[in-house]
Amino acid sequence: MTADSIVPLRPITGTLPLYCVHPVSGSVFPYLPLAPLLEQEQPVYGLEAPGYDDDRPPVALLPELSAGYVEEIGQHAGGQPLCLLGWSMGGAIAYDMACRMRAAGRAPALVILVETLVPEPRPVPDDRLLLVLFAADLAGRADPDARRALDAVLGAAPGGLPGRPAEAFGALAAAGLIPRELDQETLSRRFALFRAHLAALYGYRAAAGYPGPVVAIRGERTSAVGRSWADVALDLTEHTVPGDHYSIWHEGLAELGAAVRRSLRRTRTALSGERTR
């Protein structure tokens, strides 16, 4: 990997930069509305996946993604303290990055996990189900009404979406669920990236015992599934905000921004106290 993965979301001069790790889509777009809600002096960067908007091949192993990003932000941050944040799969990557950084003697000052399940190995779905999940991700990130439109498409098609990607993309386009600028080639590339990332996530298990500060934020309408982060992270703070996995980015955005802002402020205060001792 190269520093091409780092996308400036708020590239101001300041300390304790926040690096936001892409979700399963590979894009840092979801984090754009979060950056303005943080302190004015807070630098914010995104980590965009190889293959999302370039010709690099998708990475299907989460440890490989994590190791590459650790190297990149180490060069980019220049050794200063930093924080990590990730939504959904991005949180799993951020957690693995934190474990790697700690093992190397440069643990992040804070890790923020937004709507992230504790990852455990499980079978990768077949392509038909993957297409449904891909469509749900597109719809969930598009607008609040898109999920209902997706449900209508799935209800009208026997067996759900067509099994062939091109036919499925056609059904989604007809329902207005695919942005106009995404042509078949782009959609095929994004679906391949989605498939690789889901394989990476489903093949990974989070190691227990991380001792650094971790904040887990979840939507109040999200059901708890699998292990709790309290069983994995030793210094955990939890917050609940309005919404579910996707809607926290609109109906819960103010509360999400406030929780992240407070967490970063406490981290700055703690670091300042350490320096003055």
pLDDT tens digits, one per residue of 78-120: 989 999 999 999 999 999 999 999 999 999 999 999 999 999 9
pLDDT computed for residue 175 by the predictor = 66
CB 43 within 8 A of CB 35: no
CB 262 within 8 A of CB 11: no
pLDDT computed for residue 105 by the predictor = 95
Counting residues of the chain whose pLDDT is more than 70, the rounded percentage is 83
pTM, to two decimals: 0.90
CA distance 83 to 109: 5
- For residue 216, the surrounding DSSP H or E stretch is strand 210-219
pLDDT computed for residue 163 by the predictor = 59
pLDDT computed for residue 6 by the predictor = 96
Question: From the CB of residue 225, how many other CB atoms can be counted at a distance below 10 Å?
Answer: 9
First-to-last alpha carbon distance for the chain, in angstroms, is 39
pLDDT computed for residue 272 by the predictor = 83
pLDDT computed for residue 158 by the predictor = 46
User: Residue 209: CB partners within 8 Å, gap ≥ 6?
Assistant: 232, 234
The full set of domain ranges for the chain reads: 3-119+206-276, 127-200
Single-letter amino acid, residue 162: P
pLDDT computed for residue 131 by the predictor = 78
pLDDT averaged per 10 residues, the chain (length 277): 80 92 95 95 96 92 97 93 97 98 96 96 84 77 58 54 65 67 79 94 96 97 88 96 92 97 96 68
Phi, psi values for residue 237, rounded to 5°: -120, 135
- CATH code for the part of the protein at 3-119+206-276: 3.40.50.1820
pLDDT computed for residue 155 by the predictor = 53
pLDDT computed for residue 13 by the predictor = 83
